[in-house]
Structure 1
Amino acid sequence: MNLRRSAAAGLIAVALAVTGCSAAATPEASSSSAGESPAAAEPTPEQLDLTGEWSWHEAPDPEQTLTATITTDRIEIFWPSFEVGEEGDAFSGTMDSALYWAGSFTPPEPGEDTYTFISVGDTEAMQKSLLASSETEKEFSFANGGISFDLTIQGATKTLTLTRD
């Protein structure tokens, strides 16, 4: 039972850090194509690549930040690791990062530099995580080098923006 209380205390600390910040997290989009003349031979549009490791770099404590792994068509977001229990407790130590979101998505088409997508949650994977979202779908938006999404904890919602590591 002490482990459960310690894990809950750790989650509450991260939740307070997430919901306690009031600064806007989503940067405004800018247009760089205004005034450019069309090229004689249009280059082949590049595929927007979202794959890789991402983090919430605006976290109050850089050691306690959400991280994400994105593959071609899947996104997984994790809560940070945190200490549980007290020294000498049978259940003391470090709790590994916990899954917050796992879901699939359709990758962007070539030529897109902003992209909004709905990720369909992997409910089977998220049911195994005490700290996972209960949503079945989640909207994500990529713009200006960041992926934004809404995170809701106990009725408080904050838009977080992940940036590539």
Structure 2
Amino acid sequence: MKKAAITVLCVALLLALIAGCGSEPTSSINNGNTSKQIPNLAGEWKQTNSKSKDSYQAASINGNIIEIYWISNNGDTKSLYWAGSFVAPTTADEPYKWDSENDHSKTNNAMLASSAGTKTITYQNGILSYEASALGTTTTVKLEKQK
């Protein structure tokens, strides 16, 4: 009887260990460090480094598409700047960079859109960043995800 109880207990412990090994923890502490999750970049983003309250850039990531707009007049005016591919991160490693391929079928007729074939976009510490050029001036745009 004792031998059967010990065997059942060992099998239960073994099954618990196997089940625990297959699951991904939401966060774990390893030598005082919290493990990072793969970031979910889908959603709405707003520029944090604009010099104007009512003119800025905003982005929307949905599926495998990112669209970036020039926003003015406190949001009443929206002009397409970029429409391109989005490749979601597969690890939590930062910085995360991807080269977005321009969807010229959307940007060719947009007056304020970039004509570049690709745009390198970086995600690090909760911020998306990329270079934007207009009228001979290039700036690094920084966007933060909206809640």
TM-score, normalising length from structure 2? Answer: 0.69
Task: Work out the CA distance in 2 between the residues paired with 1:122 and 1:64.
Answer: 24
In structure 1, the residue matched to 2:31 is 37
Moved more, 124-133 or 109-118: 109-118
Query: Where in structure 1 are there 5+ consecutive unaligned residues?
Result: 1-35, 84-93
* Letter matched to residue 55 of structure 1: K
In structure 2, the residue matched to 1:48 is 39
Equivalent residue of 2:121, what SS?
strand
Larger helix share, 1 or 2 = 2
TM-score, normalising length from structure 1? Answer: 0.62
Query: Where in structure 2 are there 5+ consecutive unaligned residues?
Result: 1-29
In structure 2, the residue matched to 1:77 is 68
* Letter matched to residue 106 of structure 1: V
Task: Work out the CA distance in 2 between the residues paired with 1:64 and 1:140.
Answer: 21
Higher relative contact order (CA 8 A, sep 6+): 1
Equivalent residue of 1:62, what SS?
coil
State the Cα distance separating 1:96 from its structure 2 match.
3.1
Residue in structure 1 matching 2:124, options 131, 138, 143: 143
Task: Work out the CA distance in 2 between the residues paired with 1:102 and 1:120.
Answer: 8
State the Cα distance separating 1:95 from its structure 2 match.
6.9
Task: Work out the CA distance in 1 between the residues paired with 2:87 and 2:105.
Answer: 20
When the two chains are superposed, the root-mean-square deviation of aligned CA atoms in Å is 2.6
Aligned residues: 117
Equivalent residue of 1:124, what SS?
helix
State yes or no: 1:122 paired with 2:103: yes
